[in-house]
Amino acid sequence: MSIWQKEVVLPVFPRGYHLIDHILQEHLVDVPKFGLLHLFLKHSSAALSINENADPSVRFDLERSIDLLVPENQKHFTHTYEGSDDMPAHIKCSLLGASLQIPITNGAPNLGTWQGIYLCEFRNNAKARTLVLSIVY
Amino acid sequence: MSIWQKEVVLPVFPRGYHLIDHILQEHLVDVPKFGLLHLFLKHSSAALSINENADPSVRFDLERSIDLLVPENQKHFTHTYEGSDDMPAHIKCSLLGASLQIPITNGAPNLGTWQGIYLCEFRNNAKARTLVLSIVY
Amino acid sequence: MSIWQKEVVLPVFPRGYHLIDHILQEHLVDVPKFGLLHLFLKHSSAALSINENADPSVRFDLERSIDLLVPENQKHFTHTYEGSDDMPAHIKCSLLGASLQIPITNGAPNLGTWQGIYLCEFRNNAKARTLVLSIVY
């Protein structure tokens, strides 16, 4: 077997859900014919998710919905010194997860027609996020 | 290393949580002694999940619970033209995820005694869903 | 390719979120230079998650928050005979997931500075949980 691996620093994104397929494609050159692609975000206040890739209203509603599901300034929070967006960001990160695994088929990630890869940025003023791309093949 | 891969069209399922272990077993022949099995659903309004495999009341309660956690017809939804079940389905898909990874040990998926593999269908009238099975070994 | 695999029985943990990095490190000897580490929990009422590794208040708030998101004794539950913590534990398990995948880079799990690996124990009186560690390399 072989492992290909690359650490990528993403551009800084504002709070929100952002398609990053085009960024990943820049780094995925010489993709093997068959394999598994693994994406790993090295952070605990953002997440990766696969969801609808066409209509921006889905990304808008997804973000709005998780904000309502995990509101800021909950009375029971004790971890508050990094700002009102911090503890909710950790909760959302655990709910969505910081990694994805996608099959590679015929030399490309085998996503469905309507699937895109999101960076979900939960902090108001995040710095650049680091992603580890791995392919086993 | 080797990769084995197969794309499988599942039967059409009604909205709900459905055990699919028996369907997967039909396709998992000549499983290697040790490896990793990866299941990837090519859709953004259904999900895969591993949970209790014995008592149907767990699947019933799981579905009911996520329906209550992510209700339909929320006022803030802007993506509404595909029906009241559509945007909630996208949200549930991100919460549960569209892929699973299971160790293969001694020639079989190494699930716990009480673990089964679910297709979680969130749409009222979904078509057949496509799953990519991969084994690295 | 090669697969390394080991089944590990964790110590019994009380209900709550617990860092288990130190336990995993005991079992991860002779780690390859590059690969993917896969952790799989063979249970449906506990979960694995990666989140903040430094401040215990984050783990406390994470657990409190999921308890509020998925309360016990919901009127609609039908699966109740294993106790009030049982059905919520199944729901939380599906939301967080029972497996993790982490890149191995330069001979060690390539976690971010602030990332730690949690066992999330959702039952009040759980027995020892079993974890399958796999490395593909």
- CATH number of the domain to which B28 belongs: 2.60.120.460
Residues of C in contact with A70 (CB under 8 A): 65, 69
pLDDT digits (tens, 9 = 90+) for A33-77: 999 999 999 999 999 999 999 999 999 999 999 999 999 999 999
Contact state of B3 with A137 under an 8 Å Cβ cutoff: yes
**Radius of gyration of chain A from Cα atoms?**
16
Instruction: Identify whether the C-beta of residue B26 lies closer than 8 Å to the C-beta of residue C50.
Output: no
Shortest distance between the Cα of B42 and any Cα of chain A, in A, equals: 4
Q: Can you tell me the distance from the alpha carbon of A44 to that of C115, in angstroms, rounded to the nearest whole number?
A: 6
Instruction: Identify whether the C-beta of residue B94 lies closer than 8 Å to the C-beta of residue A117.
Output: no
The contacts of residue B88 (CB under 8 Å, 6+ apart) are: B67, B70, B71, B72, B74, B122
Write down the H helix ranges in B32-101.
56-69, 86-96
A72: DSSP letter: S
Region at C131 (left for phi over 0; alpha for psi -120 to 50; beta for the rest) = beta
Region at C135 (left for phi over 0; alpha for psi -120 to 50; beta for the rest) = beta
Give residue C78's domain range: 3-136
Instruction: Identify whether the C-beta of residue C6 lies closer than 8 Å to the C-beta of residue C38.
Output: no
Instruction: Identify whether the C-beta of residue B88 lies closer than 8 Å to the C-beta of residue B15.
Output: no
pLDDT in tens, chain C (137 residues): 699 999 999 999 999 999 999 999 999 999 999 999 999 999 999 999 999 999 999 999 999 999 999 999 999 999 999 999 999 999 999 999 999 999 999 999 999 999 999 999 999 999 999 999 999 99
Query: Could you say which of B58, B60, B112 has the minimum Cβ distance to residue C42?
Result: B112
Shortest distance between the Cα of B38 and any Cα of chain C, in A, equals: 11
Exposure string for A42-52, b = 16+ CB within 10 A, e = fewer? bbbbbbbbbbb
List the structure tokens of B93.
């898909």
Residue reference for tokens 């206040």 = A45
Residues of C in contact with A40 (CB under 8 A): 101-103, 110
Residue B21: burial class (beta carbons within 10 Å; 0-12, 13-18, 19+):
middle
pLDDT digits (tens, 9 = 90+) for B14-70: 999 999 999 999 999 999 999 999 999 999 999 999 999 999 999 999 999 999 999
pLDDT band at A118 (very low <50, low <70, confident <90, very high): very high
What type of residue is A94? S
Q: Can you tell me the distance from the alpha carbon of B27 to that of B21, in angstroms, rounded to the nearest whole number?
A: 10
**Whether residue B1 has pLDDT greater than 90:** no
Residue reference for tokens 């490395």 = C135
pLDDT digits (tens, 9 = 90+) for B79-98: 999 999 999 999 999 999 99
pLDDT digits (tens, 9 = 90+) for C95-133: 999 999 999 999 999 999 999 999 999 999 999 999 999
Q: How many domains in chain A?
A: 1
Residue reference for tokens 């090519």 = B42
List the structure tokens of B64.
């009911």
Instruction: Find the chain C residues whose C-beta atoms sit closer than 8 A to any C-beta of A.
Output: 1-2, 34-36, 49-53, 55, 57-58, 60-62, 64-66, 68-69, 95-97, 100-103, 105, 110-115, 136-137
Its pTM stands at: 0.98
**Whether residue B11 has pLDDT greater than 70:** yes
The contacts of residue B127 (CB under 8 Å, 6+ apart) are: B12
Starting at the edge strand found earlier in the chain, the sheet holding A16-19 runs A16-19, A115-121, A46-52
Helix or strand (DSSP H, E) at A22: helix A21-27
Orientation angle between helical segments C56-69 and A86-96, nearest 10 degrees: 70
Distances (CA, A) of C132 to A78, C34, C37: 34, 19, 10
HSE at residue A42, side-chain half, CA atoms within 13 A, is 20
pLDDT recorded at residue A1: 65
pLDDT recorded at residue C85: 97
Whats the size of chain B, residue-wise? 137
pLDDT recorded at residue C23: 98
**Whether residue A86 has pLDDT greater than 90:** yes
User: Among A40, A52, A100, A117, which would you mutate to test the B interface (most chain B Cβ atoms within 10 Å of its Cβ)?
Assistant: A52
